[in-house]
Amino acid sequence: MTDPQTNEATPAAAAWSPAQYAHFSDFRGRPFRELVARVDAVHPEVVVDLGCGPGELTLTLAQRWPEARVVGVDSSAEMLESARATDAAGRVEWVQASAEGWDPTEVSGSVDVLVTNATLQWVPSHLRLIPSWVSALAPGGTFAMQVPANFDAPSHRLMREVAARHLRADDLAPGLDRAIGTALPETYAALLLEVAAEVDVWQTTYLQVLQPPADGTHPVLDWVKGTGLRPVLGVLTDAAERDAFVTDYAAEIEKAYPRRPFGVLFPFTRTFAVARTTGP
Ligand X SMILES: C[S@@+](CC[C@H](N)C(=O)[O-])C[C@H]1O[C@@H](n2cnc3c(N)ncnc32)[C@H](O)[C@@H]1O
Q: Which residues bind ligand X (CB under 6 A)?
A: 16, 28, 32, 51-53, 57, 74-76, 79, 98-100, 117-119, 122-123, 227
Q: Which of 175, 125, 169 is nearest to 12 (CA)?
A: 175
Least Å distance, CB 106 to ligand X, is 15
Q: Which residues pair with 209 in a beta bridge?
A: 265
Q: How far is the CB of 16 from ligand X (least distance, A)?
A: 5
Q: What would the DSSP string read from start to end of 80-107?
A: HHHHHHH-TT--SEEEE--TTT--GGGS
Q: Considering the complex, what minimum distance in angstroms separates the CB of residue 103 from ligand X? A: 13
**59/236 with CB nearer ligand X:** 59
Q: How far is the CB of 206 from ligand X (least distance, A)?
A: 14
Q: Which is nearer to ligand X, 16 or 245 (CB)?
A: 16
Q: What is the DSSP letter of 14?
A: P
Query: Is 53 or 219 the residue whose CB approaches ligand X more closely?
Result: 53
- Residues in Cβ contact with 181 at an 8 Å cutoff, skipping those fewer than 6 apart: 120, 121, 122, 123, 124, 126
Which positions ≥6 away from 98 have C-beta within 8 Å? 4, 75
Query: Among residues 227 and 269, whose Cβ is nearest to ligand X?
Result: 227
Residue whose CB is less far from ligand X, 119 or 208: 119
Question: Are 266 and 257 within 8 A, CB to CB?
Answer: yes
Work out how close the CB of 57 gets to ligand X at its nearest, in angstroms, rounded to a whole number: 5
List 48's β-bridge partners, or say none: 71, 114
